Amino acid sequence: MSRLRRSWPRLLALAVVAVLAISVPFSFPPFRVSQFTLALAYAVAALGLNLLIGYTGQISLGHGAFFALGAYTAGIIMAQTGLPDLVGIPLAAAITFATGLLLGIPALRLRGHYLALVTLGVAVATPQLIKRFDGLTGGTQGLAAGSLTPPAWLGLAQDQYLYMIALVVAALAFAMAANLVRGRVGRALVAIRSGEISARATGVNLTTFKLRAFALSAMLAGIGGALYTYAVGFVAPESFTIAVSFVFLAAIVVGGLGTIAGALFGALFIQFVPVYTSGVNEALAGVLYGTVLILFMYVLPGGVVGLGRRLLGLVSRPRGRRSEEITTPAEPEPAPRKAAGV
């Protein structure tokens, strides 16, 4: 199959998505546009988590903490300093990247369940930590960050401007991630996930890549957090409980672990499901998330994107099924196969 023939469905899909995305602020009322903006913020953060869990198999439940860190950075910039508002994005990125790098070092020493455990603990402690530094963070009351004012020459309304910024940032983030995943780094990441022994054999430096993945995922969470603050205009400790980490996990499982596009689908899921379920019961969204996490592990480990790929009969990327399915083929073989002495 020539490269063009193999990639035309993907290019077509990208083009459709791009057109749809750009038309959003002009086709929907402001409140709906804001919801899409939030979805974009979540998509960036989910992308980070997917890189970590889906590609390197490191289970971190502390994503909410990095999200909070980025959100509060942007919030503090807007509320407490005179710096231009948009500085929040690169600053959040830098701070969360650095923190991710720092925390990634001990995190590397922890395997599987323990990493999940420790990051769970950090996420549980996050609201308390926020309240503890109340001089900076505004404590329990939170920070009112205000809203971004669009420059007049753009001719956009406030919600449209916000959306466009989020769209640009998200597009950059997704482009970077796609590039990463297809390149040498990405193939190394997949090698790591499918069994570290094989990665060691290929001479890939595990430590560096896992650390970089951790820091990158933290950075994307931070950027997502900053976008969140712009969209919501307000940050408070109770918005950043362990539930945030869980919601992001649900997002990437639904979207598709280890896929790029999955982050977008997942973000749309977690943004719009509560919109419709909160009318029925405030707990319904959570019940759905939990159920979906379980059911998807049974029947759709590849998430929506995995399903889409199968339905469209698209041959998966050069790396094969491993990118979508997290369960096979690295399963231990059943015992009978091993002995020849029959």
Partner 1 sequence: MSDDTPVSLLEVADVEASYGPVRALHGISFQVQQGEVAALLGPNGAGKTTTLRAISGMVRMRGRIRFDGHSLPGRSTEAIARLGVAHVPEGRGNFPTLSVADNLRLGAIVRRDQSSVAEDLERCYQAFPRLATRRAQPAGSLSGGEQQMLAVARGLMLRPRLLLLDEPSLGLAPLVTRELYETLARLVREQSTTLLVVEQKANLVLEFADRAHVLEAGRIVLSGTAAEIRADEGMRRSYLGY
Partner 2 sequence: MARLVQVVVDGIANGSVYAALALALVLIYRSTGIVNFAQGEMAMFSTFLTWGMTSVGVSLPLAILAALALSFAGGALIERIVIRPVEGRQPLTLVIVTLGLFILINNAAGWLWGFSNRGFPSTFPDGTVGLGGVRLGIESLGIVGVLLVVVGLLYLLFQRTRLGLAMRAAALDPVSSRLVGIRVGRMLMLGWGLAATVGAIAGILVAPRLFLDVNLMGGVLVYAFAAATLGGFDSALGAVLGGWIIGVSENLAGTYVNVIGSDLKILVPLGVILVVLLVRPTGLFGAREVERA
# residues near partner 1 by CB under 8 A = 6
Long-range contacts for 145-152 (Cβ within 8 Å, ≥24 apart)? Answer: 145/74, 145/75, 145/78, 145/79, 145/229, 145/230, 145/233, 145/234, 145/235, 146/78, 146/79, 146/233, 147/230, 147/233, 148/85, 148/86, 148/230
Rounded to 5 degrees, what angle do the CA atoms 179, 180, 182 make?
A: 70
Contact string (CB under 8 A) for partner 1, positions 318-337, x = contact: ------------------xx
Contact string (CB under 8 A) for partner 1, positions 93-132, x = contact: ----------------------------------------
Smallest distance, partner 1 to C-beta of residue 338, A: 9
Distance, CA of 156 to CA of 25 (rounded, Å): 9
Residue 326, binding choice from partner 1, partner 2, none, Cβ under 5 to 8 Å by partner class: partner 2
Residue 87, binding choice from partner 2, partner 1, none, Cβ under 5 to 8 Å by partner class: none
340 binds partner 1 (CB under 8 A): yes
Which residues lie closer than 8 Å to 284 by C-beta, 6 or more apart? 277, 278
341 binds partner 1 (CB under 8 A): yes
Identify residue 205 by its one-letter amino acid code.
N
Residue 304: closest CA among 246, 263, 243: 263
Smallest distance, partner 2 to C-beta of residue 159, A: 30
Q: Which two tokens stand for residue 278?
A: 């909160």
Identify residue 166 by its one-letter amino acid code.
A
**Candidate residues 17, 21, 110, 178; the one interacting with partner 2 per rule CB under 8 A:** 110
Which region holds residue 256: left if phi is over 0, alpha if psi is between -120 and 50, else beta? left
If the CB atoms of residues 152 and 340 are measured against partner 1, the closer one turns out to be 340
Q: Are 72 and 137 in contact (CB under 8 A)?
A: yes
How long a stretch of residues is the chain?
A: 342
**Candidate residues 191, 250, 251, 268; the one interacting with partner 2 per rule CB under 8 A:** 250
Identify each DSSP E strand in the chain by its residue range.
Answer: 143-144, 234-235
38 binds partner 2 (CB under 8 A): no
In order, the DSSP letters of 55-90 are IH----S-HHHHHHHHHHHHHHHHHH--S-GGGHHH
84 binds partner 2 (CB under 8 A): no
Residue 114, binding choice from partner 1, partner 2, none, Cβ under 5 to 8 Å by partner class: partner 2
By CB under 8 A, the residues from 272 to 331 that bind partner 2 are 281-287, 289-294, 297-298, 301, 326-327, 330-331
Considering Cα of 92, then 95, then 101, then 103, what sign does the dihedral take?
A: negative
The single residue listed with the structure tokens 């929040």 is 88
105 binds partner 2 (CB under 8 A): no
1 binds partner 1 (CB under 8 A): no
125 binds partner 2 (CB under 8 A): yes
Smallest distance, partner 1 to C-beta of residue 335, A: 9
Which residues lie closer than 8 Å to 136 by C-beta, 6 or more apart? 72, 76, 80
142 binds partner 2 (CB under 8 A): no
Smallest distance, partner 1 to C-beta of residue 340, A: 5
**Could you list the residues that contact partner 2 (CB under 8 A)?**
53, 57-59, 61, 106, 109-118, 120-122, 124-125, 128-129, 131-132, 242, 246, 249-250, 253, 281-287, 289-294, 297-298, 301, 326-327, 330-331, 335
**Could you list the residues that contact partner 1 (CB under 8 A)?**
336-337, 339-342
